[in-house]
Structure 1
Amino acid sequence: MAEVVRGLPRYAVYGAPMELLIQSLERTPTPLTLRELLAHGGKPGKAPTPDVLRRSAVYVQRELPIRLARRVRQFYSLPFIVGSNPWVQSVARLYASSFAQLATAPPIETPEGHARFTRVLQGLVNDHAENVPKLSRGFMECKEYMDTNQVTKFLNAALHSRIGIRIIAEQHLALAAMAEQNSSNDTQTEYRLTPTSIGIIETQMRPMNVVLSSCDYVRALCEATFEIAPKVEFDGDIEATMVGVPVHLEYVMTELLKNAFRATTENYLSKRKEGIATSEIPSVRVTFGSSRDHVSIRIRDCGGGIPPQNMNQIFSYAFTTANEQKAAETNDEPADVASQGMQSGMGTLAGLGYGLPMARLYVNYFGGSDLDIVSLWGHGCDAFVRLSRQMGSSDVPI
């Protein structure tokens, strides 16, 4: 039997360099906070200075290999038959390859070196874009070899870590884009840079604006699927602002609104077929609340609620009302594709049941925030999102 060091054999794990892997595993990830990210990102709406950009790059080059090494070790801990699954193994090898690229990259000492590093980092972000759909399919195929608790524990750690890795990488890439935009007067960038943003962090994020953007997308999707869609009514403190990551909140709101729109529309169409529907489809109501410590959002629908026997499963991975086989098909008719799209904001994850658990991970990531669902069976659901204003709260690296 191969000699084992810190739970790893003395040979390459999914192709990762063993000595470098062991060195990184001996180090502890730095807790990630919005406050720290803002402190190292310069001023809102201003291009970072070369010194700020260099310090950010050095931080990324130091921090990411530590987190990536832990993911490689986590994949190695899976039962052999699960780790050998082609979908799971492809993600594991990608993490190992990314670790090797960053762990062996030369120190960043010149603008040219920073430009090369940024290109590598952008490539890695693009390469990992489909990790979640791949993992979902892999674990669906391996569900008989791991119980629900084991799968949940693995995926919570893997997806929690993925959020942190992407925040670190995309924050630096957004800062680099701001610097490039400033030097070339080019207004084109994939990152949403505003006069009040620092990288991907918005210092004056207005949740109402995020919800409006999600509503437009979900309404179009609902109309394409069912030919009708409920209206959305807003009340409460719609002017509330806070520090946050808009793309994270947009994912959460899109998932919750998809559930509300789909349930409301299906419930209305069912009642109309029975001749007991109201003259108009009921509205979805979004209410905002604000206090010194939190901004709260409630999404209320009249979609009939969740059956009581299913309530304890709604935050479990792979729990879905969609048919598994249909969700896995790739040659559906357009209407089927649109219907599956109402299941999830992850595109190819449609119908695989990862929407709510991932939404909760995003909400909880920086601590002090939460997501909960309250169902009134036979009437509808209330989804509650509480967003903390405490920027000092940090993730707990796993």
Structure 2
Amino acid sequence: MLQTFQPRGLALDTLLRLPAALRVRAFATAAPSPSPTSAQSPIPPPWRPSTVLDEWVGREARPISLRQLTFFGRSLTESRLLGSANYVRLELPTRIAHRLRNMQTLPYSALTNQHISHVYELYYTAFERLRKVPEVRTMNDNDKFCDVLKMCLKEHLSVIPRLAMGILEIQDSVSGDECDRFMTTLLRSRISRRVIAEQHLALTETFHSPWHFDGKKSHMSPDDEFVGEIFLKCNAKEIIEQCAKTASELTAKAYGPDVAIPKIVLQGHLDTTFPYIPSHLEYIIGELFRNSIQAVVEQEGSAKPPPIEVLVCEAAQHVIIRVSDQGGGIDRDILPYLWSFAKGPRRKKRLQNLGQVPQLAATMQELQLPPSDPDVVGATGEKFGSPLATLSSRPPDLRIGIGLPMSRIYAEYWAGSLELHSLEGYGCDAFLQISRLGNRNEVLSTRATMDAV
């Protein structure tokens, strides 16, 4: 019986190494507390069977590339759509199971943290819901499965801020380096799950569109440039200009109409296009502009601030985007922790700011003020349970300390990179590298790396 049930948060191998008397005590302390003394009291998680989770953890995730997603959706037929549904149906619980096992390797005291426990419960609920979905054989089955996907996407909007707050609070029992590895693994997996879920939802939407004719490529879409969520001709110039406009307006609202906003000067290969998911690129570039514009405004305070220069370079395999500002560089006390979720000198302030961010889908719209109508739906990556108001009540200059490390995870997800070089007293250069061909598999955490945690 001890091998069949384990308290959530206590690793199975650790439990089985305990003497029998201590195993009993471990189970006893894992029982739900009948009357916690306060809302902040840690509530031990309930018993759960581990055998079902073990079965799914034994499977490896099957990574996929943008090119494969595009090829699969170009000539969309009912058979292909049902194949997509069954791929997602098996892949999502597999990837969630791996992350649940990640969380079970944390010390028990860390897993009883209210934020980590909240995320664990969301993941386990989604795992149970998804693993019980039967094989998708008909379009009616697919529509029911899509309803399940939408529900999961909406419920998990609170994951990022709760994870970020949790790792800032558990550092008495988990080192900062361990917290960063844990956060990176969970966020990378989260991106992967949202990509395949949203892609299938978008393909289903395409299949039901009035202009779609089953299996005919010429009727894939009105302009044949989108395949699900993937934009086949993503143009760096257009994305940069859109993000620059949004970030400039955001800064103007934060600092008032009397503050001069630096111009964005765009140069290089401005006609280059590549397949990509626009919301990913918008989020990365939007965060870079947000940081650069604010740094210049706070550094200069003059009527004519120096411009922010953006250079687009097209190579055979990659597109490189460099963002250069003269905002004074990064403070020495922050620079060593630039890519860390857990470490740094502003932990308390970050916790306070994250508390004002109840939901976070990580899209460009979240760099903006929430609209007055919470039901408005954005154009990029926000159709499935993520309204523009996901950052309700967030001031435009609210800094939550996770923008750059999250941007790097997004860049690396499709085998790209994000680097930043600071020249103290002068400014910063950020280098974003993107795979131009879309033929690189998504970067996932394998079971081997998971077991090494």
1:253 Cα offset (Å): 0.5
Question: Which residue of 124, 128, 133 corresponds with 1:105?
Answer: 133
1:375 Cα offset (Å): 1.0
1:129 Cα offset (Å): 1.5
Do residues 263 (structure 1) and 295 (structure 2) align? yes
* Aligned twin of 1:273: none
- CA pair 16-103 structure 1, distance change in 2 beyond 3 A: farther
Q: Which runs of 5+ in 1 are unaligned?
A: 186-191, 270-276, 332-339
Q: Deviations over 1:65-113 (max 9, x none)?
A: 1101111111111111111111111111111111111101111112111
The 5 Å alignment of 1:88-99 reads: 88-99=116-127
1:20 Cα offset (Å): 2.8
Inter-partner Cα distance in structure 2 for 1:15 and 1:98:
17
* Aligned twin of 1:300: 324
Inter-partner Cα distance in structure 2 for 1:159 and 1:181:
32
* Aligned twin of 1:231: 263
Q: Is the 8 A contact 1:71 1:158 kept in 2?
A: yes
Tell me the secondary structure at the aligned position of residue 391 of structure 1: coil
What is the RMSD computed on CA atoms of the aligned residues? 3.0
Q: Is the 8 A contact 2:420 2:428 kept in 1?
A: yes
1:145 Cα offset (Å): 2.2
- Number of residue pairs the alignment of both structures matches: 370
* Aligned twin of 1:86: 114
Inter-partner Cα distance in structure 2 for 1:347 and 1:357:
19
Q: Deviations over 1:2-37 (max 9, x none)?
A: 327995479998676643322211111112211221
Inter-partner Cα distance in structure 1 for 2:223 and 2:170:
44
> Kindly, what percent of the aligned residue pairs are identical?
28
* Aligned twin of 2:87: 59
Question: Which residue of 328, 331, 336 corresponds with 1:312?
Answer: 336
Q: Which runs of 5+ in 2 are unaligned?
A: 17-26, 31-44, 214-220, 358-365, 369-387, 447-453
The 5 Å alignment of 1:272-351 reads: 277=302, 279-318=303-342, 319=344, 323-324=349-350, 326-328=352-354, 330=356, 347=391, 350-351=398-399
With the length of structure 2 as denominator, give the TM-score of the two structures.
0.75
Specify the code of the residue in structure 2 equivalent to 1:292.
A
* Aligned twin of 1:217: 246
> Which sits farther off after the overlay, 373-382 or 228-237?
228-237
Do residues 130 (structure 1) and 158 (structure 2) align? yes
Q: Deviations over 1:168-214 (max 9, x none)?
A: 101101111112223699xxxxxx99631111111111122111221
Q: Deviations over 1:345-372 (max 9, x none)?
A: 98479533111111001101122x2111
Do residues 176 (structure 1) and 224 (structure 2) align? no
Tell me the secondary structure at the aligned position of residue 352 of structure 1: coil
* Aligned twin of 2:400: 352
1:389 Cα offset (Å): 2.0
* Aligned twin of 2:379: none
Inter-partner Cα distance in structure 1 for 2:140 and 2:133:
13
- CA pair 77-325 structure 1, distance change in 2 beyond 3 A: closer
Inter-partner Cα distance in structure 2 for 1:70 and 1:102:
14
Q: Deviations over 1:253-289 (max 9, x none)?
A: 11111100110110012xxxxxxx5x41222111111
Tell me the secondary structure at the aligned position of residue 74 of structure 2: coil
Tell me the secondary structure at the aligned position of residue 129 of structure 1: helix
Do residues 69 (structure 1) and 117 (structure 2) align? no
Specify the code of the residue in structure 2 equivalent to 1:33.
S
Q: Is the 8 A contact 2:420 2:430 kept in 1?
A: yes
